[in-house]
Chain A
Amino acid sequence: MREVSSANKDLQISIILIGSVARSTHGSQSDLDLLVISDRSALVARHPDQLHVQVLTTQQFTERLRAGDDFAAWCVRFGVPIVTTKPWLDIVNSAEATIWPDWHRKVRHAARRLILAAALLETGDIAAAREEMLYAVSHTARAILLRARVFPLSRPEIVSQLRESNHDRLAKILEDLSYQEETTRSTLNRYFLYVKRLLVFIDRPAYREFVQLRQKHLMAKKSHSSNLGSP
């Protein structure tokens, strides 16, 4: 914190504890997540350990709230301020802070991570595919809960929230991916199919739109690659 403050002396900086540590539900493998908010872009050094710092300006953060971003909405609801300045207080007391997140965005996020997980699985990198699958499942869980007007808490709590909403299978998948050491390729394939079906079920247009956009991009890339190959 001292490092952040001294590197940005002329800025009004707020530092907010977020993630499972803020909810006191963290485990030994959990990252320590911090949000740094300032009136202008702040300089924050990167750390090669379990500390993850997200840096945003007040304007960027407010735009996210306005757009229905659940991460920003989570921070204003459950973030624990460590250093508070006026810009953060203004955000927390703003009309934007009360906006309910747009769950359709989470469907698109989940679809992106799901397709990435499948691509990594194709390379045989089970560990990487597993990590991306965890993100995909986590986004899917958030979409489902937000759609049911339940605000998703931290990942360990989301497992219980899913069970309470009768999504036992998704809860089990999230639990397995979060806490089991290993997952086999066939298990990841099964998870992929299940999550894909779930996304299509809850929001077919958003899922289809995302996949179609990816296909369109792929076609454009094919034309790019043939241009590269031409003499």
Chain B
Amino acid sequence: MAKSKKDRLKEANAHLARAREQWDGATVDSWPPEEPADCVTKCFYSYENALVAAATGLGTAWTKKHYEKADLAKRLFEQNKLKTDISRRLVKLNELRKDVSYGEPGDELSQINLEDLVSQLERFLDEVGELVASLEEE
């Protein structure tokens, strides 16, 4: 049975709150002494939760698979539902996260500007926050 708009928005806000909490953690990881592996991983999950918040609020179906979420991000951007296309960022962060999962962080990770990474994420969270708020007003 399809969820009511009220339930969808409640769920969207819960995902967004989780995304913000993960962003908080990533921000602390970006401060010196930096923890790049943890920062990248938390940013990745935060992006995913924010994307799920947007999709849930809009009533768009989503799956748990990471690469399908990147497709979803592209689709929502192409449909003008989201202003920012985060599909490439999701793919890149997922790869970096997987590189770390083998054990040693790769060279690419040390070249990432973590401050930029969390700032970009913050802007996306604000964008999704505005989207969910506008859906609540409709």
Query: Contact residues of A with B, CB < 8 Å?
Result: 31, 46-50, 52-56, 60, 64, 69-71, 105-106, 109, 112-113, 116, 119-120, 123-125, 127-128, 132, 135, 139, 217, 220-221, 224-225
Interface string of B7-28 (1 = CB under 8 A from A): 0000000100010011001001
The answer to whether B87 and A48 have CB atoms under 8 Å apart is yes
Q: How many residue pairs, one in A and one in B, have C-beta atoms under 8 Å apart?
A: 75
- In the complex the two chains form, what is the Cα distance from A112 to B45 in whole Å? 17
Kindly identify, within residues 14 to 51 of chain B, every residue whose CB is under 8 Å from any CB belonging to chain A.
Answer: 14, 18, 21-22, 25, 28, 31-33, 35, 37-38, 41-42, 45, 48-49
CB pair B103–A109 under 8 Å, yes or no, is yes
Tell me the count of chain B residues lying within 8 A, CB to CB, of chain A.
Answer: 35
B53 within 8 Å of A (CB atoms)? no
Q: Do A49 and B33 touch across chains, with their CB atoms under 8 A apart?
A: no
Q: How far is the CA of A221 from the CA of B38 in the complex (A)?
A: 14
Report A10 CB to chain B, min CB distance, Å.
20
B28 touches A49 (CB 8 A): no
CA A59 to CA B107, docked complex, whole Å: 12
Cα(A83)–Cα(B18), bound, Å: 44
Chain A residues touching B, majority SS: helix
Roughly how many angstroms separate A224 CA and B115 CA in the complex, as a whole number?
14
Q: Please tell me if B64 contacts chain A, counting CB pairs below 8 Å.
A: yes
Q: Which residues of A lie under 8 Å from residue B64 when comparing CB positions?
A: 127
A124 CA / B103 CA spacing, docked (Å):
25
Shortest Cβ gap from A93 to chain B (Å) = 23
Verify A71–B103 contact, CB threshold 8 A: yes
Contact B91 A106, beta carbon cutoff 8 Å: no
CB A12 to nearest CB in B, in angstroms, measures 19
Q: How far is the CA of A6 from the CA of B14 in the complex (A)?
A: 46
A9 to B49, CA, bound (A): 40
Binds A, one of B77-85, B94-102, B116-124, B127-135: B94-102
B54 within 8 A of A: no
- Given A48-B67, A71-B103, A119-B25: 15 more A-B contacts, CB < 8 Å: A50-B67, A52-B98, A56-B106, A60-B107, A69-B104, A71-B104, A116-B42, A120-B42, A123-B21, A123-B22, A127-B64, A132-B41, A217-B35, A220-B33, A224-B32
Question: How far apart sit A220 and B33, CA to CA, in the bound complex (Å)?
Answer: 7
Which single residue of chain B is at the shortest CB-CB distance from A115? Answer: B38
CA distance A76 to B85 in the complex (A): 39
Partner among B32, B38, B45, B91 whose Cβ is within 8 Å of the Cβ of A47: B91
